[in-house]
Amino acid sequence: MLSAAAVEASSPVHRDPHPHGAAAKTSVTSRYETTYRSATVTEQAALALATVKEADAALLPLQDSLGALTVYVIPETSPLLPQGVGVYIGKHRSAVMRCTQGPGDVLAAVSAWVQQIVQAMSFTTDSIATALSDRVPMDQLGTDTRRPFKSSLGYEITFSLLNPDPKSHNVHWDIEAAVNSYVQPFLDKLGSVANFSVDSQILYYAVLGVSPRFDKASSSFILSALSLPHVINPVEARLGSSATSLYPVLNFLLYVPERVHSPLYIQDTDGAAVGTNAFHSPRWGGIMVYNIDHPVADKAPLPLWVDVDMVRVMEVFLAQLRLLFGISQVSLPEEFLLESPGNDGLTDWELDRLLWTRTVENIATVSTTLTSLAQLLDKIGNIVIKDDVASEVYHAVASAQTAMLELASGHLGSAFQASKEAVTSSERAFFDPSLLHLLYFPDDQKFAIYIPLFLPMAVPILLSLVKILREAKQSKKEPTKTD
């Protein structure tokens, strides 16, 4: 009988001068270092537990650090996995697979399964294309690659309740408790990626700016997919958070329709009602329409008290938040069982995949920033580079090189930290106050400023010189009179 075994895989990233296939989109490729070993006594004891969820939790202290995956192979007769399930992907950095082949074909079967598991749990060429989406032609990208926010050192998350009809609706939402229960665990998990700040606001008399269409068949109002892009701009003017923010702002809006436009439903491009009654905009945020059951007219006093079901609302916002950070649901074969991330809203292997993506994106951002700085300095000949600016440039280059070396070695944690330091140093150098005034006061603008000052004085002088030259020529032409 086959005993439990373990397959460990890590995903170094390196530059390939001759990429092929999907990797041809960029010059960056990923490869996996795979090792096979027998399961330890402690691991076998964990795999002998009653349920696979208990085994996944028991295996957590035994797993490797960031960026590594462990696949545990159990015999076909093991009752750990449910009937019909061949692979279980847990919340941490491990998976359990059932070996259904004979002893002679074990290695080949395991290798084939491991390839599918790695494609689902780790860094792939599609992840690289997503990280470099701003630098890859649109025709080589999928439809969702430009949806996530770009890598940043910080993000601001704003939850807004829009009540356009406060005379009819007295809306109450316990946003603080909802954020602490649903969003904060997710942000705590992402604490190593960036800094986050969360705030909320209530906006009265804030309308969507689009008149919904009344549907007689359903006695409801409809927002079609074609009208959704026109909803954001009028609402964004009322938010006012992005104008003063130093970091990207993620907006999540809960809209309670006016009494005269209730109920209000969102339709997709096929004309079907959206189940969540919500939509999201790439690199902006999401909007959810929250309908209210109105009593019969004149049966209830106005304004009507409304207590928002925050569980239903935050489930939608958390799903949109995952999409805006590039954490999308992976497509798996039928025999794969995917464990829910639970209260954290994020699994460990999803965090690793996000860190891989953000590390590559940070390195590309540093390269772009320093290239732009070099081009700027080439255009300005009389510029003086201060020592602290030069030091930041040197540190950015050294940190970027360190990040690339750590990526190639599969050391995800140190690679990501080095890439963050490189981004910080490159931005400090580019936005140094000693260089900023040169951006807005180059040589061509000097001429534009000084010519209006000196031209009025130069014109009379030039005219006087012309007059003197004419008089000199005329005096030479006149004959000299002699007595």
Q: Domain segments of the chain: what residues?
A: 2-7+27-130+332-339, 154-325
Among residues 197, 177, 462, the alpha carbon closest in space to that of 310 is found at: 177
Q: Tell me: the pLDDT tens digits for 203-218?
A: 999 888 888 999 888 8
422 vs 28: CA distance, rounded Å: 19
Residue 298: predicted pLDDT: 57
116 vs 335: CA distance, rounded Å: 12
Span 311-332, average pLDDT? 90
CA-based radius of gyration for the chain:
32
Span 160-189, average pLDDT? 93
> What are the φ/ψ torsions at residue 370 (nearest 5 degrees)?
-70, -35
Query: Range with the lowest mean pLDDT among 77-81, 382-386, 389-393?
Result: 382-386
Work out the number of other CB atoms within 10 angstroms of the CB of residue 122. Answer: 21
Q: Tell me: the pLDDT tens digits for 405-442?
A: 998 888 899 999 999 999 999 999 988 887 766 555 65
Among residues 123, 120, 128, 81, the alpha carbon closest in space to that of 100 is found at: 81
Token digits of residue 465: 């010189």
Residue 425: predicted pLDDT: 95
Cβ neighbors of 441 (< 8 A, separation 6 or more) are: none
pTM over 0.85: no
263 Cα distance to chain centroid: 33
pLDDT-derived band at 137, boundaries 50, 70, 90: low
320 vs 157: CA distance, rounded Å: 12
Q: Which amino acid is at 105?
A: D
CB < 8 Å & 24+ apart, contacts of 384-392: 384/434, 386/432, 386/434, 388/432, 389/429, 389/432, 389/434, 389/435, 392/425, 392/426, 392/428, 392/429, 392/432
Q: Which amino acid is at 376?
A: L
- Sheet with 278-281, edge to edge strand ranges: 195-204, 154-163, 249-255, 285-289, 278-281
320 vs 159: CA distance, rounded Å: 13
Residue 195: predicted pLDDT: 93
pLDDT-derived band at 135, boundaries 50, 70, 90: low
Q: Tell me: the pLDDT tens digits for 6-31?
A: 676 666 665 554 444 444 455 667 77
Residue 445: predicted pLDDT: 67
Residue 2: predicted pLDDT: 45
Residue 296: predicted pLDDT: 64
Residue 101: predicted pLDDT: 61
Residue 293 has pLDDT above 70, yes or no: yes
CA dist list (Å): 233 to 208, 223, 227, 246? 9, 16, 12, 20
CA dist list (Å): 119 to 59, 114, 337, 374? 22, 8, 15, 39
DSSP 267: B
Helix axes 433-440, 348-379, angle to 10 degrees: 60
Bigger pLDDT: 483 vs 264:
264
Among residues 161, 197, 91, 165, the alpha carbon closest in space to that of 314 is found at: 161
Span 375-397, average pLDDT? 84
Among residues 220, 183, 208, 176, the alpha carbon closest in space to that of 308 is found at: 176
> Which residues are paired to 213 by β-bridges?
222
Query: Range with the lowest mean pLDDT among 164-178, 187-201, 241-255?
Result: 241-255
28 vs 15: CA distance, rounded Å: 4
Residue 136: predicted pLDDT: 63
32 vs 13: CA distance, rounded Å: 9
Among residues 378, 387, 384, 366, the alpha carbon closest in space to that of 430 is found at: 366
279 vs 258: CA distance, rounded Å: 19
pLDDT-derived band at 134, boundaries 50, 70, 90: low
Span 330-345, average pLDDT? 87
Give the rounded percent of residues in the chain with a pLDDT score beyond 70: 84
Residue 1: predicted pLDDT: 37
243 vs 353: CA distance, rounded Å: 31
Residue 260 has pLDDT above 60, yes or no: yes
For the chain, the average pLDDT equals: 84
CATH code assigned to 154-325: 3.40.390
Span 267-281, average pLDDT? 90
Among residues 95, 83, 7, 110, the alpha carbon closest in space to that of 55 is found at: 95
Span 446-471, average pLDDT? 82
